[in-house]
Amino acid sequence: MTETGDVVESAGRGMQAARIGVVANLLLVAVKISVGIVGHAYALVADGVESSADVLSSGVLWTGLRIAARPEDDDHPFGHGKAEAIAAAVSSLLLLAAATWIVIAAVHGIRTPHRLPKPYTLIVAAAVIVVKAALYRRVRKVADEVGSIAVRADAWHHRSDAISSAAAFVGIGVALLGRQYIGGMGWEAADDWAALVAAAVVTINGIRTLEPAVADLMDAAPDRALIDRVRVAASAVPGICRIEKLKVRRSGLGYYVDLHAQADPFLSLHDAHELSGQVKGAIVDATPRVRSVLVHMEPYHE
């Protein structure tokens, strides 16, 4: 399979994960908001609103990966890979926006007296935790296999939703147990206080997923192990005496390599060209996600 074909296949797997996320989140939004309203579990309602942001995030992810998979053209000679980083950044910002909404809703719930949550809301919160934890593991596995920061951000949306649902579960449980075994008023807001804790966790996750997206948009150097793998592959080509400069940047699901290779100064232009082609082939074989290699041949001197 070609480098472009490998990237397209990876993008396809990422888009499939996004589609599954959209369907799952739509169902969870309906369940959490309806049960939260009827069962007076306002943390569950806030959690449902946060899940609606996940629906939008998965849609952004799907669009970003679809654009990133497009081949190079005259207007975009380096491809459309940056769309993947933009989608990851937008997804992370949506995560931060969801955390802000949870805080606003929780503070409102704390300041506004409301009824005690119904016991059955605990079952719904527990079921959401199980579903979201399973979605996180599935999407995170896809993200690790295809190397997509956008898919990884989507996985963190699922994990954050599981965390906020866990906070709602704990808060509802405290409210119910506190009223039953201790008595008195004031336990109704326990789920709102738990939602504040969940908002802090969601904020941290949003920042964690935003950082690599910004790094990609700024053409930050990738993992050092990948750079070393490229250097070793190029240096091992017979006829290459030394790798003088090596730059690697990430764009979407692929990498672009720019290196200066030194060889026998008496090589003909034809032989130097052939040697540069061997260097490119060795790098692509060692790192299949490399989409383009630009080799500058230079004379080697002791």
Q: What percent of the chain has pLDDT over 70?
A: 92
Q: How many residues does the chain have?
A: 302
Query: What is the per-residue pLDDT across 63-100, written as a single tens digit (0 to 9) for each?
Result: 887 888 788 888 888 888 888 888 888 888 887 888 88
Count up the domains in the chain and report the number: 2
Residue 72, Cα to own-chain centre: how many angstroms? 24
- The closest of 52, 50, 170, 57 to 100, measured between CA atoms, is 50
CA pair distance 87, 98, nearest whole angstrom: 16
Task: Say yes or no: 88 and 203 in one domain.
Answer: yes
Range of the domain at 166: 3-217
Tokens 């690599």 map to which residue?
A: 212
Weakest mean pLDDT among 2-16, 38-52, 107-121: 2-16
Task: Say yes or no: 72 and 213 in one domain.
Answer: yes
Task: Say yes or no: 101 and 175 in one domain.
Answer: yes
Task: Say yes or no: 74 and 51 in one domain.
Answer: yes
Which of 169, 197, 217 finishes a domain?
217
* pLDDT, mean over the chain: 83
Task: Say yes or no: 51 and 198 in one domain.
Answer: yes
Task: Say yes or no: 136 and 121 in one domain.
Answer: yes
Residue 192 has pLDDT above 60, yes or no: yes
CA pair distance 115, 35, nearest whole angstrom: 14
Which of 217, 245, 265 finishes a domain?
217
Task: Say yes or no: 211 and 237 in one domain.
Answer: no
CATH code: domain of residue 239: 3.30.70.1350
Instruction: Between 83 and 187, name the one with better pLDDT.
Output: 83
CATH code: domain of residue 62: 1.20.1510.10
Task: Say yes or no: 81 and 13 in one domain.
Answer: yes
Residue 2 has pLDDT above 50, yes or no: no
CA pair distance 58, 21, nearest whole angstrom: 6
Angle at 295 between CA 148 and CA 255, to 5 degrees: 0
Task: Say yes or no: 194 and 238 in one domain.
Answer: no
Q: What is the pLDDT of residue 180?
A: 65
Distances from the Cα of 189 to the Cα of 42, 106, 227, 228, angstroms: 9, 9, 52, 54
Task: Say yes or no: 50 and 198 in one domain.
Answer: yes
Which of 170, 202, 217 finishes a domain?
217
Task: Say yes or no: 209 and 122 in one domain.
Answer: yes
Q: What percent of the chain has pLDDT over 90?
A: 20
Question: 256: how many CB neighbours lie within 10 A of its CB?
Answer: 18
Residue 186 has pLDDT above 60, yes or no: no
- The closest of 28, 32, 147 to 84, measured between CA atoms, is 147
Q: Is the pTM of this model over 0.75?
A: no
Overall average pLDDT of the 107-136 stretch: 83
User: Would the CA dihedral through 130, 132, 138, 144 be positive or negative?
Assistant: negative
Task: Say yes or no: 181 and 131 in one domain.
Answer: yes
Query: What is the per-residue pLDDT across 241-286, written as a single tens digit (0 to 9) for each?
Result: 999 899 999 887 788 999 999 999 999 999 999 999 999 999 999 9
Question: Of the spans 116-130, 158-172, 256-270, which averages the highest pLDDT?
Answer: 256-270
